[in-house]
Amino acid sequence: MSSAKSSSKERIQLDWGNISLLGGYHIALVIALPIYLIYTVPSWALIGLTALLIAFCLLSITTGYHRLYSHKTYNARPVVEWIMLFFGTLATEGSVLKWSHDHRLHHKHVDTDRDPYGTPKGFWHSHIIWMFKAPAPWNEQLVRDLNRNRLVQFQHRHYEILMLLTNGIAVGAVALILNDLVGALVISLLVRLFIVHHCTWFINSLAHMWGSKPYSTEQSAVNNFFLAFITAGEGYHNYHHTFASDYRNGVRWYQFDPAKYLIWFMSKIGLAKNLKQADRLTIKRNLISADRKLMLTHLESIRHLDRAQIAEMIERIFEPLSNKLVGLKTTTERYRKLKKAGSDELAALKLRMHELHRSISQDTAEWKQLMQFVLKLKPQFAL
Ligand SMILES: [Zn+2]
Ligand SMILES: [Zn+2]
């Protein structure tokens, strides 16, 4: 009897503001879009301007809300902050303070009950349902740094009015330029919100479910090119959860990450500085640690009869390679330090670095061969 009473008391509290806003515009879209398309074919100009607004919104969320404010991966000039906050507000994803608070909770408690949009509760929970529930208790400590930022505070205090204002300005501008109010309301408002929101939400849902884990296997975040493509570069989420303070998500030059290019470009013209990035030797060490776990898990899952022997082979390359990477990192750091002062030790250090480079290349080639061999092994069962 008492447990029935307490379970009814523990009823889920709902966030009616979010339910009305998100539910409301989805219903409006489902009704308005088909009717609009029956009577009109949207012009290329309308599609183009909306695409531009979508790009600005997504870039402001990734470059501003996420990498500048939530993770502080670089510093930006106030003019950049103004632009990011304008288009971030237009994206209608809440104030940067609230967004960063939830996102920092997500990183801190990933895959646990305390993660506001954790995937253990399923795709739809991380994608949208979490926003229908009352928010997690506010932890002031988590955003103390952002509370000192006047622009952030201003946006947080007046978020609702600013959200209406930015959307009004954007829709009004499109309507005035094209002399098409209905098109602006349906395409530049409703369709834009739908695309921007679902693309962002895929990072909380699909980017923790569908893809590869080259950098760390301990948590659910994955790398996925398709998601990077539709989210201005946020799809390399496994890398991001491993090196969250790096301004890049797609760490390799060929990985599609427009936010990374934009931050780099801003740093070249004096609009951004102090770009943080993980050093390549630490990244490589993470890569081989994840490879090692992948191989050992594979051996265990296929119940290979020689798994003890093969596991020994894995450790025989892994341990020295890992140590050499640490050794190269410390030697390089020492070399750089002494180079400024000038020292007799420099020649010896240079030689050591050269040897380590050569040895690491050999070990890496061997490691790759071993990976190919192990991951191709088929299941074996004892008789
Ligand atoms: Zn995540
Ligand atoms: Zn993050």
Tell me the pLDDT tens digit for each residue of 90-137.
999 999 999 999 999 999 999 888 899 887 889 999 999 999 998 888
Query: Does residue 329 form part of some domain?
Result: yes
Say whether both 94 and 178 belong to one domain.
Answer: yes
Domain count, the chain: 2
Backbone phi, psi, residue 75, to 5°: -110, 145
Please give the distance, rounded to the nearest whole angstrom, from the Cα atom of residue 109 to the centre of ligand 2: 12
Gap between the Cα atoms of 284 and 243, Å rounded: 12
Query: Does residue 7 form part of some domain?
Result: no
Evaluated on CA atoms 103, 109, 110, 113, the torsion sign reads negative
Say whether both 299 and 320 belong to one domain.
Answer: yes
Say whether both 345 and 318 belong to one domain.
Answer: yes
Please give the distance, rounded to the nearest whole angstrom, from the Cα atom of residue 297 to the centre of ligand 2: 27
Say whether both 110 and 220 belong to one domain.
Answer: yes
Render pLDDT for 199-230 as a digit per residue (tens, 0 to 9). Answer: 999 999 999 999 998 888 888 999 999 999 99
Say whether both 224 and 322 belong to one domain.
Answer: no
Query: Does residue 61 form part of some domain?
Result: yes
Residue 308: per-residue pLDDT: 85
Please give the distance, rounded to the nearest whole angstrom, from the Cα atom of residue 221 to the centre of ligand 2: 10
Where do the H-state alpha helices sit in 91-143?
A: 96-108, 123-124, 130-132
Say whether both 125 and 44 belong to one domain.
Answer: yes
Question: Is 345 a residue whose pLDDT tops 90?
Answer: no
Say whether both 180 and 319 belong to one domain.
Answer: no
Say whether both 146 and 77 belong to one domain.
Answer: yes
Say whether both 207 and 295 belong to one domain.
Answer: no
CA-based nearest residue to 238, from 218, 264, 260? 218
Range of the domain at 331: 280-376
Query: Does residue 325 form part of some domain?
Result: yes
Say whether both 325 and 213 belong to one domain.
Answer: no
Residue 57: per-residue pLDDT: 97
For residue 75, list its beta bridge partners.
273
Query: Does residue 105 form part of some domain?
Result: yes
Contacts of 125 (CB under 8 A, 6+ apart): 117, 118, 119
Please give the distance, rounded to the nearest whole angstrom, from the Cα atom of residue 107 to the centre of ligand 2: 7
Q: CB neighbours (10 Å) of residue 212?
A: 13
pTM for the structure as a whole: 0.85
Please give the distance, rounded to the nearest whole angstrom, from the Cα atom of residue 103 to the centre of ligand 2: 6
Say whether both 305 and 175 belong to one domain.
Answer: no
Say whether both 210 and 289 belong to one domain.
Answer: no
Query: Does residue 224 form part of some domain?
Result: yes
